[in-house]
Structure 1
Amino acid sequence: MGATTTTMIQLNIESNVATLALADSKVNAMNIEWCQLFSAQLAELEHDDNVRAVVLTSAERVFSAGVDLKRVVAEEPQYVQPFIDSLSKCFRDAFVFPKPLVVAINGHAIAGGCIVASCGDFRVATPRARIGLPELRVGVPLPAIAIEIIRRVASPVALQAMLNSGANYRGKAAVEVGLADEIVEKESLLEAAREHADLLASIPHATFRLMKQQIREPSLVQADRLEEKFGQQVREVWNSSEIRAMIEQYAAKL
Structure 2
Amino acid sequence: MKREEPGVRLVVADGVGTIELSRAPVNALDRATQTELREAAHEAAHRRDVEAVVLYGGPEKFSAGADIQEMAGLEPIDMVLWASQLQAAFTAVADIPKPVVAAVTGFALGGGCELALTADHRILATETKIGLPEVKLGVIPGAGGTQRLSRLVGTAKAKEIMFTGRALSAQEALEIGLADRVVERDQVLKEAMAWARQFVGGPSLALRAIKQAVDLGTGTDLRSGLEIERTLFEGLFGTRDQLAGMRTFVESGPGKAVFTGR
TM-score bucket of the superposed structures, by smaller chain: 0.7 to 0.9
Instruction: Give yes or no for contact 1:100–1:201 (8 Å, CA) kept in 2.
Output: no
Structure 2 partner of 1:225: none
Give the number of the structure whose residues are more often helix, by fraction.
1
Structure 1 partner of 2:34: 35
- Alpha-carbon displacement from aligned partner over 1:190-221 (angstroms, at most 9, x marks no partner): 11001110123454111111111111115666
Structure 2: runs of 5 or more not aligned? 222-262
Structure 2 partner of 1:184: 183
- Alpha-carbon displacement from aligned partner over 1:54-82 (angstroms, at most 9, x marks no partner): 11111362211111111112234432111
Report how many aligned residue pairs link the two structures. 218
Q: TM-score, structure 2 length as denominator?
A: 0.77
Instruction: Give yes or no for contact 2:20–2:58 (8 Å, CA) kept in 1.
Output: yes
Which has the larger displacement, 210-219 or 32-41? Answer: 210-219
Equivalent residue letter for 2:209: L
Distance 1:160 1:107 in 2: 24
Quick one: structure 1 residues 10 and 36, their matched pair in 2 at CA, closer, same or farther if it must change by over 3 Å?
A: closer
- Alpha-carbon displacement from aligned partner over 1:111-142 (angstroms, at most 9, x marks no partner): 11101101111110101110001112221123
Distance 1:7 1:186 in 2: 25
Equivalent residue letter for 1:85: S
Instruction: Give yes or no for contact 1:148–1:220 (8 Å, CA) kept in 2.
Output: no
Instruction: Give yes or no for contact 1:125–1:183 (8 Å, CA) kept in 2.
Output: yes
- Alpha-carbon displacement from aligned partner over 1:204-242 (angstroms, at most 9, x marks no partner): 1111111111111156669xxxxxxxxxxxxxxxxxxxx
Distance 2:218 2:79 in 1: 24
Higher relative contact order (CA 8 A, sep 6+): 1
Q: Runs of 4 or more off by more than 3 Å in structure 1? A: 75-78, 143-146, 200-203, 218-222
Instruction: Give yes or no for contact 1:131–1:170 (8 Å, CA) kept in 2.
Output: yes
Structure 1: runs of 5 or more not aligned? 223-254
- Which structure would you say has the larger Rg? 2
Distance 2:217 2:33 in 1: 28
Structure 1 partner of 2:252: none
Query: Sequence identity, in percent?
Result: 28
Instruction: Give yes or no for contact 1:101–1:120 (8 Å, CA) kept in 2.
Output: yes
How far off its partner does 1:178 sit?
Answer: 2.3
